[in-house]
């Protein structure tokens, strides 16, 4: 999977596979390394790159502390920008997914309920912050794929809107 990233003010591409990444700065050479990452607590990871260990802690507002050094990082999945205009306002099912690992705090809707675009559907706590997941369009709640108190991983489907 390839992401557009910014580290500080520098733009780059980050391609991540199972056990390797390729980091390419804008106008620079590609850096390819094998890696592994294991969660060690909420928002904290142990990352191993070529035998060197790093402790990464994800903070608020796009900050990541790596071995005590804080970096401002932005990550964007370019696939999520495709077809925005018609897809969000048009028909069809849309799935609301967890943007990062966390715990479901509250479910604010019920199956069959009509919702408006941008209406809050579910509250997920991640990194000691509560995040409202909002409806991408006006429609009806078709499925709720989680429960209050459940742990969720990044990308897990939470609610389906039709």
**Helical residues (DSSP H) of the chain, grouped into ranges:** 84-89
CATH class of the 90-161 domain in this structure: mainly beta
The domain defined by 2-78 carries CATH number 1.10.510.10: no
Q: Do domains 2-78 and 90-161 have the same CATH topology?
A: no
- What H or E segment, with its residue span, contains residue 131? strand 129-134
What is the C-alpha separation between 40 and 35, in angstroms, rounded?
16
**pTM above threshold 0.75:** no
With vertex at residue 147, the alpha carbon angle to CA 146 and CA 148, rounded to the nearest 5 degrees, is: 135
Give pLDDT tens digits for 26-84: 878 899 999 998 889 888 889 999 889 999 988 877 788 999 899 888 887 766 644 44
Give the model's pLDDT for residue 157: 86
- Other Cβ atoms closer than 10 A to 70: 11
Q: Which of 25, 155, 160, 161 is nearest to 80 (CA)?
A: 155
Q: Is the pLDDT of residue 150 over 60?
A: yes
Residue spans per domain, the chain: 2-78, 90-161
Give pLDDT tens digits for 84-116: 444 444 567 888 888 788 899 999 999 999 999
């Amino acid at each position: 999977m390839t992401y557009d990233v910014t580290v500080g003010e520098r733009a780059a591409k980050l391609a991540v596979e199972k056990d390797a990444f390729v980091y390419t700065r804008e106008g620079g050479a590609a850096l390819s390394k094998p890696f592994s990452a294991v969660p060690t607590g909420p928002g904290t990871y142990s990352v191993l790159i070529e035998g060197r260990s790093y402790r990464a802690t994800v903070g608020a507002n796009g900050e990541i502390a790596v071995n005590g050094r804080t970096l401002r990082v932005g990550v964007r999945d370019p696939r999520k920008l495709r077809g925005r205009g018609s897809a969000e306002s048009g028909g069809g099912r849309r799935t609301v997914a967890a943007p990062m690992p966390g715990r479901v705090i509250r479910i604010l809707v019920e199956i069959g309920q009509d919702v408006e675009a941008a209406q809050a559907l579910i509250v997920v706590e991640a990194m000691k912050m509560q995040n409202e997941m909002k409806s991408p369009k006006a429609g009806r709640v078709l499925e709720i794929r989680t429960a209050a108190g459940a742990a969720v991983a990044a990308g897990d489907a939470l609610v389906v809107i039709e």
